Amino acid sequence: MHQRKISLWVSLLVLLGLLAGCAAPVDTAAVATEPAAEEAAPAGPFEPMSMAAENCDYGGLFKAIEAVDELTVKFTLCQPDPAFPAKVAFSSFAINDADYLTATGGGGELIEKPNGTGPYKLVEWLRGDQIIFERNENYWGEKAIPQTLVFRWSAESAQRLVELQAGTVDGIDNPGPDDFATIEGDSTLQLALRKGTNIFYLGMNNSFPPFDNERVRQAFGMAIDRQRLVDNFYPPGSSVASQFMPPSIFGYSDGQEWYAYDPAQARQILEEEGVLPGFKTTITYRDVVRGYLPNPGIVAQDIQAQLAEIGVEAEIVVMESGAFLDAADRGELDGIHLLGWGADYPDATNFLDFHFGPGASAQFGEGFQDIWDALNEGATKSDPAERQPWYDQANELIKQHVPMIPIAHGGNGAAFKADVQGAYASDIGAEQFRLMTPGDRDTFVWLQNGEPAGLYCADETDGEALRACEQIMESLLAYEPGSGDVVAGLASTWSANPELTEWVFTLREGVTFHNGATLDANDVVLSYGVQWDASHPLHVGRDGSFSYFPGLFGGFLNAPAE
């Protein structure tokens, strides 16, 4: 909401500027993309590119991105951001070749034929069947072990397991929770677990009665037996959630507890508030298996049965995945909805700001000013010890306002053939297959849940697409495969000023893209710039939503008025 008002102001200013400055195309919120990408041919001398916002009133985090010299990029921020390196390492902000980006027009070929710097390059994407990658022999780092990498997909966990047992694939994602024991008992297979760096929650939208009543939401918070759900329907390694933040991620409040399960009191409150008897609602979910919700249908039915015990009659509604997410974001779900979130990078901002900050979607209805204030304080401090109290406060406020009921941190994993050396499952779902040795074979076949929608991951949010992008594309920084710590990527070193508002990245020398182009600072400026500036001619993408950019960096420059 907040953000939309600001973008309206920006567009008003734009309009005024246009009126005042007559017919000449005024570059209002200041985009200077000079020189044009085509002119920056490798033959000529390096002409640094830069983009800047006139001021920070547009509401986003970025003030300027500039190429200082051929291998140095400087980001100037409007506010300090301690999580900046973690965000920059995320695969939505992978670096594209500026010439290729321009040639594809920011969409089209870019989505089908990504051109990155990564350890694998795309050979062929057979839509509906498989994606074939081959080792990048010119990779700047340690070259990939498997010569060929194949991605396949199947939505059915039983089929994935059968293929693994039959030996037609080397690794599968998300085996069914009930298959964990089978895999562990099979000497030809191995199981790799992920820590539950995710959250499964029941969301409620406070713009629909009776969920506009805080006491009612609190009553529902007491009405769900979370322990029972985790004990019965979650695989080993899962835990009951006491708050929105998973325990292993910064921003978790040690010692905080959720409301104790008390159906009698929940019922009493609902009766006092006039909701019961006779309250009917819906439980909406998407029938998609994710690490945080391995058994969607069964969990939905158990919640339905639990609500029936306190006298609430709930109808189960299953929606198509994309439609469900859209409806949730637009704030159209008037009952209870089952959704979750997995970590993209290990910081509170990825969880709390994205869902409860001022820039959050309408998923839970109107935001809460006191939560916004706490999150804002926490996000602008650099010392973790100083930040933590603000997140403790935010978590406590979330418990008080109950925009959602935290249920579980779902343990999940991947399974591999026993002869795959170096097999692991990344906590954030970013497995790097270049590190795995598939026995004596030179091809590694990976079977995941679904097909990527596109391979230009600036405009993708689905983990199935991000994982594929991560084999081909690289960001300025990277997450270490095991720990998830931020390490050097395309930038070999990086530094910030003491206020954490200016970040300078030094690129590796001699890195080449799969099409042979050499990486330079202008590639970085343009890769970020096309996402940042919503009016940029290359701001196209697959559907143009570029969700992660405003989610992590506050907002687009020149965002269209809503």
Partner 1 sequence: MSTSAATASVEPILKTRPRGLWRTALRRLFQRRSALIGMAILLALILVAALAPTLATHDPTQSLIGVEEVTKRQPPCIHLFGCPHDQPQHFFGLDGNVRDLYSRILFGARLSLLVGIVSVGFAIVIGSLLGATSGYLGGWTDHLLMGLMDIMLAFPSLILAIGIVTVLGPGLINTLLAIGIVSIPVYARIMRASVLSIKQQDYVTADRSIGVPTRRILFGNILPNALTPLVVQGTLGIAVSILDAAALSFLGLGAQPPTPEWGSMIGQERNQVFTAPHLILFPGLALILTVLAFNLLGDGLRDALDVRQRA
Contact (Cβ atoms closer than 8 angstroms) between residue 471 and residue 452 = no
Interaction between residue 162 and partner 1 (CB under 8 A): yes
Q: Name which of residues 399 to 438 contact partner 1 (CB under 8 A).
A: none
CA dihedral 305, 202, 276, 233 (to 10 degrees): 20
Q: Which is nearer to partner 1, 180 or 390 (CB)?
A: 180
Contact (Cβ atoms closer than 8 angstroms) between residue 530 and residue 538 = yes
Return the SS3 of 282: strand
Selected from 300, 333, 394, 473, the binder of partner 1 by CB under 8 A is 300
| Piece of 211-219, 292-300, 357-365, 451-459 that binds partner 1 (CB under 8 A) | 292-300
Give 467's Cβ-side CA count (13 Å radius): 26
List the one residue out of 462, 469, 459, 476 whose CA is nearest residue 432: 469
Backbone angles phi, psi at 23, to 5 degrees: -75, -20
Selected from 73, 94, 122, 161, the binder of partner 1 by CB under 8 A is 161
Interaction between residue 315 and partner 1 (CB under 8 A): yes
458, amino acid identity? A
Interaction between residue 301 and partner 1 (CB under 8 A): yes
Residue 195 structure tokens: 């820590």
Interaction between residue 298 and partner 1 (CB under 8 A): yes
Query: Measuring CA to CA, how many Å separate 480 from each of 353, 414, 516?
Result: 24, 18, 27
Q: How far is the CB of 304 from partner 1 (least distance, A)?
A: 6
Interaction between residue 168 and partner 1 (CB under 8 A): no
Helix, strand and coil in the chain, % to nearest 5: 35, 20, 45
Interaction between residue 156 and partner 1 (CB under 8 A): yes
Number of chain positions touching partner 1 (CB under 8 A): 24
Q: Which is nearer to partner 1, 234 or 354 (CB)?
A: 234
Interaction between residue 167 and partner 1 (CB under 8 A): no
Q: How far is the CB of 308 from partner 1 (least distance, A)?
A: 8
Give how far the C-alpha of residue 263 lies from the chain's centroid of Cα atoms, to the nearest Å. 35
Backbone angles phi, psi at 164, to 5 degrees: -65, -45
Interaction between residue 233 and partner 1 (CB under 8 A): yes
Q: How far is the CB of 401 from partner 1 (least distance, A)?
A: 30
List the one residue out of 403, 409, 319 whose CA is nearest residue 361: 403
Selected from 182, 213, 265, 380, the binder of partner 1 by CB under 8 A is 182
Contact (Cβ atoms closer than 8 angstroms) between residue 491 and residue 476 = yes
Selected from 14, 18, 192, 316, the binder of partner 1 by CB under 8 A is 316
| Piece of 50-58, 178-186, 200-208, 505-513 that binds partner 1 (CB under 8 A) | 178-186
Selected from 179, 431, 451, 462, the binder of partner 1 by CB under 8 A is 179
Q: Which is nearer to partner 1, 51 or 414 (CB)?
A: 414
Interaction between residue 158 and partner 1 (CB under 8 A): yes
Interaction between residue 302 and partner 1 (CB under 8 A): yes
Contact (Cβ atoms closer than 8 angstroms) between residue 122 and residue 114 = yes
Residue 550 structure tokens: 């405003």
List interacting residues with partner 1 (CB under 8 A): 156-158, 161-162, 176, 178-179, 182, 228, 232-233, 287, 295, 297-298, 300-302, 304-305, 315-316, 318
